[in-house]
Structure 1
Amino acid sequence: MCGRMTMTHPNDAMAQLFEAAPANDLPEPPTYNLCPTQSVGVVVSDGARSYRAMRWGFLPHWYKAPNGGPLLINARAETIAEKPAFKAAVRARRCLIPATGFYEWTKDADDTRLPWYFSRPDGGPLVFAGIWQNWGTDDPIPTCAIVTTGASDWMAETHHREPVVVTQADWATWLGESGDKGAPLMRAAPEGTYQRWRVDRAVNSNRAAGPELIEPI
């Protein structure tokens, strides 16, 4: 968790929401099956906020190639400050990763993977806590990962992990703008953050696309 996302909100709307300058290379929404290694829109701050594209899949500096080790799309909140791959980034390179929703899977009695779609009840964007860093020297690749934590009781009905959601009141803290530390924010989302429903197994394929992927069944 979190392994697939959707983004249907326009880039200019996201830039305005975060009061961030939009980059020219942002992936164009809508996308209903955003997969690891693809580009996602990410909010970073270095005195001023920017909304820019990054590879979803964090690349430690010691990787010799983008496929030089495990695909690090998530970073566990419980160990992020100690893991060699993440500890520098969580101190100095925190980011916000907005999404319209995400998918999670359960299994039936026949071990068939059954997808569920999660989104906000009001249709607004979910904003995940993330970390980022550039990989490579000649033509650096900006890369990111979503911070996850142990699931709430409600989420645990579907999966034992969930992404860390950052509320608007805490955006500045997570981005390091307020001088406060972000560790207390790495917790499960409160009740009512999500709604969920079953969707078609077509989304099990990373090649599937289209709005029908999020239609309830």
Structure 2
Amino acid sequence: MCINFLTVNKQTLQDHFETVVRSPDEWPEEAYQDYAAPIIVATRSGQRAALAASYGMVPRRHIPPDMKHYSTMNARTETIAERPSYADPWQRGLFCLVPMHAYFEPNWETGSAVRWRIGMADDAPFAVAGLYRAWQEEDGSRAFSFTQLTVNADTHPLMKRFHRPEDEKRALVIIPKSSYDDWLTCRNPEQARAYLQTHPAEMMDAAPDPKPVIARVKKETEQEDLNGSLF
């Protein structure tokens, strides 16, 4: 599933997503595992607020040293209620939006992985469904992390084109703008499942977008690929 996406800046959060930015922190233009990225949550009064959070529900720094590193960047909606990493936030309704300009998936139609950029047909920023949680850090500070929710996309006209031919096809859950507040304030996990749908293919756009060689080599040096390929 998605291991890389393009974040939005604070101005876009305020203008397009009508969100109060509460974090003084900055974040990079591209997010990978354990990178900071903005998420949108609902305050107790129902307002939208943006926080900086770590990409991956369980940050590597919180994985015990004797345990194998594992990826929690994407959560399967079919099993989210049973998985230890996600069950508590799911049951508590800790739903968030992950705003972005685009995300990337590998296309194998040529016989090898080619990175494709996926976004909206009108090139507008959009938001995908996520879960978040808080962590108490060793220095006493409070930090946040998040994961993105995915659904089966075996029959989706666009998303079925990605990943290896033998692999199940998955898609991020794109939340329509008209449903932002309903998703954020929903506290019933079973009702929340009504939002977990694939997005209409005609409203999306995708095209090859290979990473420049220098950037790709640098990234491969920095980060272990937990999904089997760094396209």
1:125 paired residue number? 125
Structure 1 pair 10–172 and aligned structure 2 pair: CA distance change class (3 A): same
Question: What does 1:51-90 align with in structure 2 at a 5 Å threshold?
Answer: 51-59=50-58, 63-64=63-64, 69-90=69-90
Structure 1 pair 173–145 and aligned structure 2 pair: CA distance change class (3 A): same
Give the counterpart letter for 1:171 in structure 2.
Answer: Y
Give the counterpart letter for 1:175 in structure 2.
Answer: L
2:228 paired residue number? none
Q: Which moved more, 1:45-54 or 1:16-25?
A: 16-25
Question: What does 1:176-191 align with in structure 2 at a 5 Å threshold?
Answer: 176=185, 181-191=191-201
TM-score, normalised to structure 1, is 0.81
1:63-102, Cα deviation, whole Å (9 max, x unpaired): 447x874121011111112222212212321100010001
Contact 2:121–2:205 at 8 Å: present in 1 too?
Answer: yes
Give the counterpart letter for 1:112 in structure 2.
Answer: S
Match status 1:41 vs 2:46: no
Contact 1:74–1:148 at 8 Å: present in 2 too?
Answer: yes
Give the 3-state SS of the residue equivalent to 1:18 in structure 2: coil
Give the counterpart letter for 1:192 in structure 2.
Answer: E
Give the counterpart letter for 2:195 in structure 1.
Answer: L
1:6-59, Cα deviation, whole Å (9 max, x unpaired): 13x431221233332102434356x2x321110111001122321110000112
Give the 3-state SS of the residue equivalent to 1:205 in structure 2: helix
2:216 paired residue number? 205
Provide the C-alpha distance between the structure 1 equivalents of 2:217 and 2:178, rounded to a whole number of angstroms.
34
Contact 1:39–1:55 at 8 Å: present in 2 too?
Answer: yes
Give the counterpart letter for 1:157 in structure 2.
Answer: R
Provide the C-alpha distance between the structure 1 equivalents of 2:136 and 2:217, rounded to a whole number of angstroms.
27
Kindly, what percent of the aligned residue pairs are identical?
Answer: 19
Contact 2:3–2:104 at 8 Å: present in 1 too?
Answer: yes
Runs of 5+ in structure 2 lacking a partner?
164-168, 220-231
1:97 paired residue number? 98
Q: Which moved more, 1:150-159 or 1:36-45?
A: 150-159
Runs of 5+ in structure 1 lacking a partner?
209-217
Q: Which moved more, 1:68-77 or 1:165-174?
A: 68-77
Contact 2:109–2:161 at 8 Å: present in 1 too?
Answer: no
Contact 2:73–2:148 at 8 Å: present in 1 too?
Answer: yes
Say which structure is richer in helix. 2
2:16 paired residue number? 17
Match status 1:194 vs 2:193: no
2:225 paired residue number? none
Give the 3-state SS of the residue equivalent to 1:148 in structure 2: strand
